[in-house]
């Protein structure tokens, strides 16, 4: 556990004694969960409970165009959803019990793509990405749903994308925190080439943990795949947060902190 120290003077008859008050940090890590396209915050509720059990304050939320605002799904843009993520991040990091220097962001698919971009705009210490998607930078402000019609995303995701071509990969290249990158073995939506592009981009991360869930599809549609991912995420968060409490890193973070 990291602690604060304060030098004090203790009055006595002939002057004072030198003393040091040692107190534990009272703030704790925050974990933000970002769901994928077509999902909602319910998908991360159990994982948020597991992270909370590790001593974190967690936030799940619904992106615009999902759940209560699903009628906006045909018109919502990536810009709107990125602003959603920024607003959620700011709400969590502003919580009085959260240490804003110890923020984790966990995202899946489209949510992973947005989470990667977030690291270029806000300080993030730990970044967990499950099958993070890639989209062309072109058309940033057009409805997200139209991207599949305007762009050949399937072809784009079958090749290794250069860091300079993509906003999410540029953010990944600048990230200096710790990364968990999870691939599904049988993912027809986000194939291996996408994960390889992210792996190449994260070369300067403080640490990179890469795992493949055997037999899993994009949405983790079977119970075994769900359990495997839940275990991976919980173990990784426990390792990262445990290291923070042991004081193994005095700093951590993405471009926004430098």
**CATH number (domain holding residue 211):** 3.40.50.1820
11 lies in a domain?
no
Which residues form the domain of 183?
Answer: 27-257
Indicate the range of 4-8, 40-44, 101-105 predicted with least confidence.
Answer: 4-8
If you average pLDDT over every residue of the chain, what do you get? 91
Residue 94: pLDDT above 90? yes
Which of 100, 122, 124, 226 is closest to 180 using CA atoms?
A: 124
> What tens digit of pLDDT does each residue of 206-247 get?
999 999 999 999 999 999 999 999 999 999 999 998 876 555
Residue 44: pLDDT above 50? yes
8 lies in a domain?
no
- Could you tell me the pLDDT band of residue 191, with boundaries at 50, 70 and 90? very high
For residue 163, the model assigns a pLDDT of: 98
For residue 8, the model assigns a pLDDT of: 83
Residue 3 bridge partners (DSSP): 24
Percent of the chain with pLDDT over 90: 79
Counted domains in the chain: 1
Residue 248: pLDDT above 60? no
21 lies in a domain?
no
For residue 220, the model assigns a pLDDT of: 97
- Could you tell me the pLDDT band of residue 2, with boundaries at 50, 70 and 90? low
Give the pTM. 0.88
> What tens digit of pLDDT does each residue of 125-138 get?
999 999 999 999 99
Residue 257: pLDDT above 80? no
Judge whether 24 and 1 are in contact, CB under 8 Å.
Answer: yes
Please spell the DSSP secondary structure of 26-73, one letter per residue.
--EEEEEEE--TT--GGGGHHHHHHHHHTT-EEEE-PPTTSGGGGGGT
Backbone angles phi, psi at 27, to 5 degrees: -90, 155
4 lies in a domain?
no
Residue 180 bridge partners (DSSP): 128, 209
10 lies in a domain?
no
Residue 187: pLDDT above 80? yes
Q: What count of other Cβ atoms lies within 10 Å of the Cβ of residue 15?
A: 8
Pairing of strands 15-24, 3-12: antiparallel
Which of 113, 112, 111, 115 is closest to 103 using CA atoms?
A: 115
Strands (E), the chain: 3-12, 15-24, 28-34, 57-60, 98-108, 126-130, 178-184, 207-213
87 lies in a domain?
yes
The whole-angstrom distance between residue 223's C-alpha and the CA centroid of its chain comes to 23
Judge whether 185 and 212 are in contact, CB under 8 Å.
Answer: yes
């Amino acid at each position: 556990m990291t602690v604060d120290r304060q030098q004090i003077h203790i009055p006595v008859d002939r002057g004072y004694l030198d003393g040091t008050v040692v107190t534990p940090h009272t703030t704790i890590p925050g974990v933000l969960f970002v769901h994928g396209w077509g999902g909602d915050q319910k998908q991360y509720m159990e994982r948020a409970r597991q992270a909370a059990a590790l001593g974190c304050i967690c936030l799940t939320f619904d992106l615009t165009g999902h759940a209560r605002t699903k009628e906006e799904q045909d018109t919502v843009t990536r810009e709107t959803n990125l602003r959603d993520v920024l607003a959620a991040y700011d709400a969590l990091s502003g919580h009085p019990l959260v240490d804003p220097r110890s923020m984790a962001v966990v995202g899946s698919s489209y949510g992973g793509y947005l989470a990667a971009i977030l690291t270029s705009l806000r300080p993030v210490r730990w970044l967990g990405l499950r099958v993070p998607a890639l989209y062309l930078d072109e058309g940033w402000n057009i409805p997200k749903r139209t991207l599949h019609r305007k762009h050949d995303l399937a072809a784009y995701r079958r090749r290794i994308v250069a860091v300079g071509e993509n906003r999410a990969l540029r953010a990944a290249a600048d990230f200096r925190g710790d990364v968990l990158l999870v691939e599904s073995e049988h993912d027809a939506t986000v194939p291996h080439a996408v994960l390889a592009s992210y792996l190449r981009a994260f070369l300067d991360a403080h640490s990179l943990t890469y795992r493949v869930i055997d037999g899993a599809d994009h949405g983790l549609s079977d119970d075994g795949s769900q359990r495997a991912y839940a275990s991976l995420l919980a173990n990784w968060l426990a390792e990262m947060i445990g290291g923070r409490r042991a004081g193994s890193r005095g700093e951590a973070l993405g471009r926004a902190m430098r």
